[in-house]
Amino acid sequence: MTSTAQQVGLVARRSLKRTLRQPALIVPTIVFPLFLVAINSSGLNSATKIPGFPTDSYLEFAITVPFIQGAIFAAITAGTELATDVESGFLNRLQLTPLGRTSILFGQLAGATAVALLGALTYLVVGLAAGVTIHAGVLGTVVLVLYAVFAAVAFSGVGAVLGARTGSPEAVQGAFPLIFVFFFLSSMNLPRNLIDVGWFRTVATWNPISYLIEGLRSLIITGWDVTALARGLAVATAVLVLSFWAANRALATRMERT
């Protein structure tokens, strides 16, 4: 009998292989956030002159964005991959083995997590090459990457809910703009205290994505800000717990096996 860890390992290896063999899935998800940060950091650089802006380099402020965008892309990748397995019948193939439901769920997310790690390392290298200084030092850099991957795992659970519930890769991708709206309605481009429009500042304050961004950002522009980090990690943990609970339920409904 295969142990749960071995089962997860087998499914994860398959997920990794199929994801890494699809350059069309990886390249845009890594390159697009870099384009966005390049455009924003050149167009919004004058924002650093606003009194109270926390750094004099907009690139240092904005380089956080690709890391969180990578987590959102991980959600789409994980959801699309799971939905493809439902649609193609591959999930039925897995169901006919002694494989447990949780093993399927965790194993299936390996590919999306790998893309997120690859993305995080790319953004880090590009950022450092462009002159970004990580004020939390070497240990902070390691925490930065781990934080980004943790957020990606949490969001891939959201993707898995969509994938398991809809069973349609197109439907998962259709949800992408909606997720992106949440992303833009956050403190992505400006610190919350400098957002001048009242409703926007309120939405950004209630938007959990703001705290994810701010936790990560603190490592780059501040150093060790325990409060910001704890808030960010709390949001990521909450997303992880809720999304995996919901994904497990959605998969249970999808897998009717006796």
Partner 1 sequence: MDNGIVVEGLVREYKGGIRAVDGIDLEVAPGEIYGFLGPNGAGKSTTTHVLTTLLPPTAGRARVGGFDVAHQGAEVRRRIGAALQEAALDAFLTGREHMDLQAGLHGLSKAERARRGAALLERVGLTEAADRKVGGYSGGMKRRLDLALALVHEPAILFLDEPTTGLDPQSRSALWDEVGRLAREDGVTVFLTTQYLEEADVLAGRVGIIDRGHLVAEGTPDELKREIGGNSVEAVPANPDECGRAAEALVRFGEPAAHSTKGAAVRLRDGAEQLPEIVRALDDAGVRLAHLQLHTPSLDDVFLAKTGRSLEGAGEREGAEDADRDPEPVAA
- Taking alpha carbons only, the member of 71, 103, 78 closest to residue 183 is 71
Q: Which stretch binds partner 1 (CB under 8 A): 4-12, 40-48, 60-68, 152-160?
A: 4-12
Count of residues interacting with partner 1 (CB under 8 A): 27
**Hey, what are 198's tokens?**
């009242």
Would you state the structure tokens that stand for residue 65, as one six-digit string?
């964005």
Considering only residues 179 to 238 of the shown chain, the ones binding partner 1 according to CB under 8 A are none
**Residue/partner pairs of 187-191 with CB below 8 Å, 24 or more apart:** 187/213, 187/214, 188/65, 188/68, 188/213, 189/40, 189/44, 189/47, 189/62, 190/47, 191/52, 191/53, 191/54
CA distances from residue 88 to 19, 82, 167, 230 in whole angstroms, order as listed? 16, 10, 9, 41
Stretch that binds partner 1, among 5-13, 36-44, 54-62, 194-202 (CB under 8 A): 5-13
Among 4, 5, 21, 202, binds partner 1 (CB under 8 A): 21
Q: Quick one: tokens of 214?
A: 């701010």
Site for partner 1 in 129-188 (CB under 8 A): none
Tell the residue number behind the tokens 């455009």, with chain if given: 39
| Under 8 Å between Cβ of 85 and 14 | no
Instruction: Report the nearest approach of partner 1 to the CB of residue 99 (Å).
Output: 5
- Subset of 71-100 contacting partner 1 (CB under 8 A): 88-99
* Nearest residue (CB) to partner 1, 56 versus 170: 170
Give which of 209, 180, 210, 212 is closest to 195, Cα–Cα: 210
Least Å distance, CB 114 to partner 1, is 14
Tell me how far, at minimum, the Cβ of 44 lies from partner 1, in Å: 40
Residue in 6, 133, 193, 227 binding partner 1, rule: CB under 8 A: 6
Residue 100 Cβ vs partner 1, minimum distance, rounded to whole Å: 10
Q: Which is nearer to partner 1, 88 or 227 (CB)?
A: 88
24 counts as binding partner 1 under rule CB under 8 A = no
Residue whose structure tokens are 């304050």:
205
Considering the complex, what minimum distance in angstroms separates the CB of residue 87 from partner 1?
A: 9
Q: Footprint of partner 1 on this chain (CB under 8 A)?
A: 1-2, 6-7, 10-11, 13-14, 17-18, 21-22, 88-99, 256-258
